[in-house]
Structure 1
Amino acid sequence: MIGHPAYRRLVRASAWYDLVVTIGFATPWTYVLVHDLLHRVTEHFGLGTVPPVEPMQILFANLMGSVVVVWSLLRLLRTSALHGLYDGIARVLFTLWQTYALYHGVTAVLWLFIVVEMVFGVAQLLPWLSRRTCLATG
């Protein structure tokens, strides 16, 4: 399954998702717009609150956004199965940290991101785990 074209399409789909979701975090100007949107959504649906924008928050959002945008472009322009493995591992980490933040009172809007992270993470890691199991038993 790892060498199958469907797996490469999955890696590209996860890259497109990341690019669309995080490009707004990549600059201070776009982050303020994303923050405002998140604030409005959480307020409208009663999902908690988003803290006010602060320079340190903007810095970390921009760092994360920049790295994820570059990582997304790499997966789109040089798609490989190995990128799917690493992306799956990163998604497990993102899921852990988002769940940790949720546990500590961050807005419930994070559930939307957690679900997507988990789905893409499992989908990209299962073929690698199956491959390992096949090699160990075969």
Structure 2
Amino acid sequence: MLTPTAYRRIFRASAWYDLLIVWPYATPFGLALAWGWLDRLHVGLGQPSLPELTVYGVLFANFFGTVVLIWSAVRLVHDDPRLGRWDALGRGLFSLWMAVALANGASPLLWLFLAVEVAFGVAQAMPVREPRPA
């Protein structure tokens, strides 16, 4: 069982992580830079080059990036631990879709993102001890 303080730290760390990882996906220019970097890493690890992004891939990545940026900002600004429970649900769904992609041949780099999603999802789903009355 987590203390309210520990839960708040996890909750806020997950929001900051999302901001740091996802911001490039919110614009076509940032996505191009991130995709190029991921491609070089992928090839450097002995994997084939990542596929070229189509206009639809860019569009949906930008949608995803924008929504996650806004959701992260909402969690940081409102600082409401109840939002951590909703975030845990979202991370569970994201993890499921990543597992489906991995099962269908997606890049093994996805395992790194999946591990973080599962860790934050489990941590934010854990019970929190009620604060003691003053």
Do Structure 1 and Structure 2 share a fold, with TM-score over 0.5? Answer: yes
More helix by share: 1
> Highest relative contact order (Cα 8 Å, sep 6+), 1 or 2?
2
Report the Cα offset of residue 48 of structure 1: 4.4
What whole-Å deviation, never above 9, does each CA across 1:58-110 have from its counterpart, x for those lacking one?
00000000000000011111111111100000000000001100111111100
Q: Note closer, same or farther for the CA distance 1:88–1:67 as it changes in structure 2 (3 Å cut).
A: same
Cα distance between partner residues in 2 of 1:48 and 1:11: 36
Number of equivalenced pairs: 130
- Matches of residues 1-138 of structure 1 in structure 2 within 5 Å? 4-127=4-127
Contact 2:87 2:121 in 1 (8 A): yes
Equivalent residue of 1:127, what SS?
Answer: coil
Runs of 4+ in 1 over 4 A off after TM superposition: none
Identity of aligned residues (%): 42
Contact 2:12 2:76 in 1 (8 A): yes
Report the Cα offset of residue 127 of structure 1: 1.5
TM-score for the superposition, normalised by structure 2 = 0.91
Q: Note closer, same or farther for the CA distance 1:125–1:47 as it changes in structure 2 (3 Å cut).
A: farther
Counterpart amino acid of residue 117 in structure 1: E
TM-score for the superposition, normalised by structure 1 = 0.88
Cα distance between partner residues in 1 of 2:26 and 2:2: 31
